[in-house]
Amino acid sequence: MTPNDAPGDVPAGRKLAAGEYGYNDLEIHDHYETAGVTVTEAHVVGFAGLSGDLFDVHMDDEFARGLGFPGRIAHGLLGLSLADGLKTRSPIRLLGVATLSWNWSFKGPILIGDRIHAAIAVAGKRDTKRPDRGIVTLGMRVLKQTGEAVQEGETLLMMRLRDSASA
Ligand SMILES: C[C@@H](O)CC(=O)SCCNC(=O)CCNC(=O)[C@H](O)C(C)(C)COP(=O)(O)OP(=O)(O)OC[C@H]1O[C@@H](n2cnc3c(N)ncnc32)[C@H](O)[C@@H]1OP(=O)(O)O
């Protein structure tokens, strides 16, 4: 899966089994699907308070309907945050050091009650000067229960090697 593939395409490469993966365990085109999470009103209200983003489109159904949405919509960064939380721990545990970048598109709204998960594929790998670390490019798509891809893009993740004593 890459962000340019159509939803539903069967990706090339290995489907990763649940477990722990270091930089040295991953190959280009490896892919997996995360567990899912249902977006709740508590998520939206909590994220509004945390971020300070109280824009009416997230807080007021009538206002959101006036903009053509079915009701108030989740913050885009809430959806990304939930998907990012699933990305490295469920059911695949990636041995990350730090996220280095995101190149991201918000393509459709996430509504309260939607269940989302992420489809992730290794799109690139590069070694760094440190022998115990490498950087992977992950193509990532956030999907709703309907199969609609509502967010997608790429992220760079610095990872450590599995069994790396200095990590
Ligand atoms: C899984 C998630 O939960 C994780 C997170 O969200 S972590 C929170 C968000 N991320 C951060 O706060 C990370 C901030 N960055 C850092 O602290 C440092 O950049 C670092 C500790 C990750 C790396 O620093 P350092 O050890 O000093 O390494 P270098 O700067 O020498 O870089 C090592 C190689 O990585 C390349 N690189 C660094 N940053 C980026 C970047 N943003 N994009 C692309 N590539 C990057 C750098 O070119 C070096 O490559 P080389 O071939 O080894 O020269």
Position 163 confidence tier, pLDDT thresholds 50, 70, 90: confident
Closest protein CA for atom 34 of ligand 1: 128
> What's the gap in Å between 167 CA and the centre of ligand 1?
14
- Given the CA of residue 94, which atom of ligand 1 is nearest to it? 1
pLDDT tens track for 29-84 = 999 999 999 999 999 999 999 999 999 999 999 999 999 999 999 999 999 999 99
Position 167 confidence tier, pLDDT thresholds 50, 70, 90: very low
Closest protein CA for atom 52 of ligand 1: 128
Residues 6+ apart with CB under 8 A from 98: 157, 158
Give me the domains of the chain, ranges plus CATH numbers: 19-164 (3.10.129.10)
Q: How much of the chain exceeds pLDDT 90, in percent?
A: 88
Question: Mean pLDDT, to the nearest integer, of 86-102?
Answer: 94
ipTM of the complex as predicted: 0.86
The token duo for 37 is 């999470």
> In angstroms, how far is the first alpha carbon of the chain from the final one?
29
At how many degrees (to 10) do helices 76-87 and 41-51 cross? 100
Report whether 115 contacts 37 (CB < 8 A).
yes
> What's the gap in Å between 50 CA and the centre of ligand 1?
26
